[in-house]
Amino acid sequence: MATVLSLHDPLRQLQLDIVALLEKSATDLGDEQTPLATRVHELRKRLKRARAWALLLPKALRREADRALRDVHRSLGNRRDIDATLEAIARLQPVVRRARGDGATSAFAALRHQLAAQLDRDTTATTVKQVRATLAALAATLAVQPLAGDFPQLSAGIAAIARRSRKAMRRALASGDPAHFHRWRKWMKYHMFHLRYVAPLWPDLMRAQAIAAEHTAEWLGQSQDLELVRTALASAPLPAAQRRTALAVVDREQRHLLRLAASAGLHLHAESPRALATRLDNYWLARAQRAGH
């Protein structure tokens, strides 16, 4: 879905973009010609974008939107965890082949079989109707709110999320705690969506930063998915030797992913959030002046 960064009323344009995204999400979720797994996958991606954009709304609307979208996200959580674990196992296959880990191959095969059985019992289909109703109701609520504001209101919100991401990054790198990396990933994902949204201010520069943020969030997300694999391996009925071999593969891949995320994240957050807001405001003024000519 294409978005336009309005020079005249950016906050109102953001509001319209969120409403359009929610309406399209509700419509596409009801398309029974598309497999349920595909519809849910697309919905999850849109929910993250909608939540990121909603964080830039005024306080009251921000809280209402985030509460509704959080509830929708949680209602799909079980299906998401199963899908993410299966995808993480698939990504590990080249690593397992290079390591020639027969024990790990057997362990992951058994885990895939167990997770596939859980998918057969998944109840996501029964939640789709309620999710569509929630998204449509939220879109209707947001559509009628009279919003107006200039760009510094958006840049201040973007800086606030960058500050959260920066703080979460420092805490994660200092502690090594998976929970802290998970929180960093959440805020980095929002930061990425914000950078994408304001990329038209200076496309050549801003898109490169948005791509770097996307890679960082993706590496953190893949590391988090490996935590799901680790949990599944711990509870699966496997021989101890197979479990140890499989966990060693998970550990190596996770360390690699977190090294990549740390390097990119430190570069992205080398600039202070206040400096980021100032820079975006200056880009905005430059763009407005150019449009005035």
Q: What percent of the chain has pLDDT over 90?
A: 56
User: Residue 54 and residue 21: Cα distance in Å, rounded?
Assistant: 11
- Bigger pLDDT: 292 or 204? 204
Please give the CATH topology (third level) of the domain spanning 10-292.
Answer: CHAD domain (1.40.20)
State the pLDDT at residue 195. 97
Any idea where the domains of the chain sit in the sequence? 10-292
User: Residue 218 and residue 208: Cα distance in Å, rounded?
Assistant: 15
User: Tell me: the pLDDT tens digits for 81-109?
Assistant: 888 888 888 888 887 777 665 677 888 88
State the pLDDT at residue 245. 87
**If you average pLDDT over each of 96-105, 133-142, 267-276, which comes out highest?**
267-276
State the pLDDT at residue 122. 56
* Mean pLDDT on 34-43: 84
Nearest to 178 by CA among 217, 226, 215, 216: 226
pLDDT band at 125 (very low <50, low <70, confident <90, very high): low
Residue 73 has pLDDT above 60, yes or no: yes
State the pLDDT at residue 124. 63
State the pLDDT at residue 293. 47
User: Tell me: the pLDDT tens digits for 227-258?
Assistant: 999 988 888 888 888 888 889 889 999 999 99
**If you average pLDDT over each of 6-15, 27-36, 134-143, 211-220, which comes out highest?**
211-220
For residue 133, is it left (φ>0), alpha (ψ between -120 and 50) or beta? alpha
State the chain's mean pLDDT as an integer.
Answer: 89
State the pLDDT at residue 41. 83
Q: Is the dihedral of CA 85, 91, 97, 98 positive or negative?
A: negative
Q: What percent of the chain has pLDDT over 70?
A: 93
- Can you give the C-alpha Rg of the chain in angstroms? 21
* Mean pLDDT on 208-224: 97
State the pLDDT at residue 102. 64
Confirm if 104 and 250 have CB atoms less than 8 A apart: no
